[in-house]
Amino acid sequence: MTVFPFIVVAWILLVGLYGMVTSRHLVHQIICLIVVQSSTYVLLLGVGYVTGAVAPYYFDVPNHTPAVDPVVQALALTDVVVEAAVTALLLSFAIQAHKRFGTLDPHELAELKG
Amino acid sequence: MTEVQRRWMFLAGAAGLVAFVLWGLLGLPGFGNYPGPYGPSILRIAVAQTNATGVVSAVNFAYRGFDTVGEEFILFTAAAGVSTVLRHLRHERERSAVDEAADRDVPPTSSAVRMTALVFAGPVMVAGWWLASHAQTNPSGGFQGGVVLATAFILVYLAGEFLVFKRFSPVDLTEVVEAVGAGGFAAVGVAAVAMSLPYLTDYLGLGSIPGAVSSSGTIALISFFVGLEVAAAFILIVGEMLEQTLLIRQEDSE
């Protein structure tokens, strides 16, 4: 099963994209974008995993115990922070769109623009 | 383009995307066979070099510290962006936070919710500080601690009223705290430059016990500033969003 986590990554990515394409509500669409981004967490943590290794914390295990890759874990942390920032900004755009056009349906918003 | 056309176009594109993504992913070394070299090298040297037993924090605040400055400023910019996008537009005015339809039949916040929120606000704040100040020992750090700290303020909102939340976290004060947090991190790095060391070099010196709060040099200090910045940024963002629903009204709608 050495490829299973990577298939999960592709699956999460696709499910999120499908949601974004078929979405009828901006907030739903933003949440689908979060789902797309979640696939990168699984990918990062999956890439750095070492079978039988501990978490990269030597507080209560002896030094030089084999541990999983700390670099990708740090990258996943960065990923989460950026996701939170992007989500907050997108949600505030959704608030303004609703104020301006009275709808959050992407199809209706596209029509209003023309 | 109709709905059906869109969906077919997506399916065609998605099929190609899946093929490429799987092709790329299946070429990786299998799950559990991480080949290195960066992870193992850092794991070998991190504890000796930084005295931090939390290697992820050592990566974030020491080895990759320069990246993390940028990351922190992404959050800073996002909070500024939210404030800008949600500014008062023309035709909008702020009304007082008084219930204008007091005779409405709205169920009051249940005392169970109030009690739970009040009981948790204090411990959550302590937990947030603990997380923000223990980056070097265990899986915690400024980012996680900051979010938990902000939660304590949101619990105050949940337990009481929007006005109480505002009194606990006035916008001016929160903005100052955010600026101190963001600027503090950058300043820790610049201080190293002032001592003619490379940016973000650890100049505080390591203590004797690996993993102790005081013994990993600048990691603890940076994590503390990151905690301030993250907490303030989240309180600002949540406050802005609450203000939109509770205080801002279109002028012609009333």
Residue B146 C-alpha from the chain's centroid: 6
Task: Say yes or no for a CB contact (<8 Å) between B7 and A72.
Answer: no
**Could you tell me if B136 and B216 lie in one domain?**
yes
Mean pLDDT of B165-173: 80
Residue B253's pLDDT is 47
Residue B108's pLDDT is 74
Contacts of A66 (CB under 8 A, 6+ apart): A50, A52, A53, A54
Closest CA to B145 of B206, B46, B231, B17: B231
Instruction: Tell me the per-residue pLDDT of B120-164, one tens digit each, with 9 for 90 and over.
Output: 989 999 999 999 888 888 888 888 999 999 999 888 888 877 777
Residue B43 belongs to some domain of the structure:
no
The residue ranking higher by pLDDT, A111 or B11, is: B11
**Could you tell me if B24 and B120 lie in one domain?**
no
**Could you tell me if B169 and B208 lie in one domain?**
yes
**Could you tell me if B83 and B157 lie in one domain?**
yes
Instruction: Tell me the per-residue pLDDT of B15-40, one tens digit each, with 9 for 90 and over.
Output: 999 899 989 888 888 788 887 788 88
Angle between helices B65-85 and A70-101 (to 10 degrees): 10
Three-state DSSP state, B163:
helix
**Could you tell me if B8 and B116 lie in one domain?**
no
pLDDT at residue A30 greater than cutoff 70:
yes
**Could you tell me if B150 and B192 lie in one domain?**
yes
Give me the percent of chain A exceeding a pLDDT of 90: 44
The model carries a pTM of: 0.85
Q: Give the total number of structural domains in chain B.
A: 2
Contacts of B126 (CB under 8 A, 6+ apart): none
* CA-based nearest residue in chain A for residue B21: A10
Residues 66-105, chain B, touching A (beta carbon < 8 A)? 67-68, 71, 74-75, 77-79, 81-82, 85-86, 89
Residue B95's pLDDT is 66
* Residues of the domain holding B3: 1-35
**Could you tell me if B70 and B22 lie in one domain?**
no
Q: List chain A domain ranges.
A: 4-113
Instruction: Tell me the per-residue pLDDT of B177-228, one tens digit each, with 9 for 90 and over.
Output: 999 999 998 898 888 888 888 887 887 777 777 777 777 788 888 888 999 9
Which of A3, A43, A63 is closest, CB to CB, to B47?
A63
**Could you tell me if B118 and B143 lie in one domain?**
yes
| Chain A residues close to B71, C-beta within 8 Å | 78, 81-82
How many residues are present in chain B?
254
**Could you tell me if B5 and B92 lie in one domain?**
no
**Could you tell me if B156 and B55 lie in one domain?**
yes
Instruction: Tell me the per-residue pLDDT of B67-122, one tens digit each, with 9 for 90 and over.
Output: 899 999 999 999 999 988 888 776 676 666 666 666 676 777 788 888 888 899 89
The class (CATH top level) of A4-113 is mainly alpha
**Could you tell me if B130 and B199 lie in one domain?**
yes
Which of B33, B55, B71 is closest, CB to CB, to A70?
B55
- φ and ψ at B139, to 5 degrees? -70, 75
Residue B254's pLDDT is 42
Instruction: Tell me the per-residue pLDDT of A54-79, one tens digit each, with 9 for 90 and over.
Output: 888 888 888 778 888 899 999 999 99
Token representation of residue B146: 């900051």
**Could you tell me if B152 and B228 lie in one domain?**
yes
